[in-house]
Chains A and B, each alone.
Chain A
């Protein structure tokens, strides 16, 4: 079946612009996760959704970052007033129901802020 998909695959934006990154989880998966992979850094957790609710937003790096999920499916990660340090690969994952279920990752969105 279809896996997790993300769009766009690559995004180049100018400093100060807003960007939206999209994640389509595996159909039927109620839990959704965002991670960020910066150059030289490991993958870091950003936020997770259970249905449309985000119980933990503590991983978001600043208030310029926000995320929402609608219809228990698609999620959007928005970065306002982008900075060069936001350049990274943003990965989305989903899992079936419980947070302990295995997470399946999408291909990621590579964001470059110039």
Chain B
């Protein structure tokens, strides 16, 4: 059974700081890995999707890396802003075994960026 773990559970940083969020998964047979953002009371916004054949994806100040063999991904946020405050979720999709329709999520990292 795929398990996804996110560390830390919560993180508070001053504005302008660079930061890294971590995600690990137990089954390396993944199709892709996705990072989401969730604001309080809102749904999920997809930030970055990394296919299993890729090592990283970048969007603006965000960079996500994937090391499938070690079961790890990181989300790097450069020059953090108060508007980045949210819960960040990591999710993986298995590539086989008849379960490639479901996303398995971590419990998220609650990020607070202080002005």
Chain B residues near A105 (CB, 8 Å)?
36, 43-46
Contacting B at CB under 8 A, from A28-52, are 31, 33, 35, 40-45, 48
Chain B residues near A91 (CB, 8 Å)?
43-44
- B: which residues have CB within 8 A of A? 4, 31-32, 34, 36, 41-46, 49, 89, 91, 93, 99-108
B15, chain A: closest CB distance, angstroms:
28
User: A107: which of B43, B91, B105 is its contact (CB, 8 Å)?
Assistant: B43
Chain A residues near B100 (CB, 8 Å)?
99-100
Q: Does A65 contact B (CB under 8 A)?
A: no
Q: 11 new A-B pairs (CB below 8 Å) besides A105-B46, A110-B41?
A: A33-B103, A35-B105, A40-B107, A43-B103, A48-B102, A56-B99, A91-B43, A91-B44, A103-B103, A105-B43, A105-B44
Whether the pair B101, A43 counts as a contact (CB closer than 8 A) is no
Count how many chain A residues have C-beta atoms less than 8 Å from C-beta atoms of the other chain: 26
- Against B, the Cβ 8 Å flags (1 = close, 0 = not) of A80-114 are 00000000000101000001101111111010000
Whether the pair B31, A100 counts as a contact (CB closer than 8 A) is yes
Whether the pair B42, A45 counts as a contact (CB closer than 8 A) is no
- A: which residues have CB within 8 A of B? 4, 31, 33, 35, 40-45, 48, 55-56, 59, 91, 93, 99-100, 102-108, 110
In the complex, A43 Cα to B103 Cα: how many Å? 9
In the complex, A103 Cα to B93 Cα: how many Å? 11
Residue among B89, B102, B106 facing the most chain A CB atoms (10 A cut-off)? B102
Whether the pair A100, B93 counts as a contact (CB closer than 8 A) is yes
A8, chain B: closest CB distance, angstroms:
13
**Known contacts A43-B89, A102-B49; A107/B103 CB under 8 A:** no
Please, which residue of chain A has its CB at the minimum distance from the CB of B36? A105
In the complex, A44 Cα to B42 Cα: how many Å? 17
A19, chain B: closest CB distance, angstroms:
19
A78, chain B: closest CB distance, angstroms:
21
